[in-house]
Each structure stands twice: as structure tokens, then as C-alpha cells.
Amino acid sequence: MFVAGLPLDGTLVFRPSVIMPDGLLRQKFGWYREKGLHGRLIIAGKRLDAAAPPLRAEIANGYSDTGFQPSEIIFPTEGCWQVTGTGGNVSVTFVTRVMKLPGTQS
């Protein structure tokens, strides 16, 4: 399994136009379960550098339990986040820095 939408330098930078009115930071990710891998996608994560509520994930309906699966991950705060996607018996974990564009108000 692999995930698309990760920044090359590991930092997700959110511009004011995509920050939700409540301050939440939403990012789309595409997950791909390789041929022969079946299972419902489950996404979980936690902030590593400070206390924060857990992230949330919205996983699109209407896709099978194999192949492509779109999702949105909702980060409640800026910071260093560990995200794990699990499909069947396979997991992918990545760590990303989440930040607002410098100068963006909370």
C-alpha cells in the first residue's frame, strides 16, 4: 500500500484559502492498495511534538476494499503529525509537519 499527496520536503503548508473557518486544516490524500491487498481503509494519527486532539479522517464511500481510496485528513492543529493508514493486514505510516503559511492568523 502507498499514499499519494505527500510533500517532498515533509511539510504541508496551508494557505488561508484552504483553512476551514473553525481553524481545522484539511488535506486530500490518495491511498492505493496493491493488487491482491483487500481491506477497508482505516486512518489514525497523533501529534508528536505537543498535546493535541487526534486527527480525523474522512474516507470516501463508494470505493471497493481494493485499489484506489481517496480520503481527507483533518489536522486540528499545526505541528508534527504521525499518520497511519491500514488496509487489511498492511499499514503505511508517515510523519509530516503541518503549518499555516507564515503570517496567517489562527
pLDDT in tens, 19-71: 999 999 999 999 998 887 888 899 999 999 999 999 999 998 877 777 888 99
Q: How many domains does the chain have?
A: 1
- Sheet with 56-59, strands from edge to edge, namely 2-4, 25-33, 67-75, 56-59
Separation between Cα atoms, residue 44 and residue 60, nearest integer Å: 15
Domain that residue 64 falls in: 1-8+18-77
Q: What does the pLDDT read at residue 46?
A: 97
**Residue (of 71, 67, 70, 32) closest to 55 by Cα position:** 71
37: in domain: yes
Query: Is 28 part of any domain?
Result: yes
- The average pLDDT across 73-85 equals 97
To the nearest whole number, what is the mean pLDDT of the chain? 90
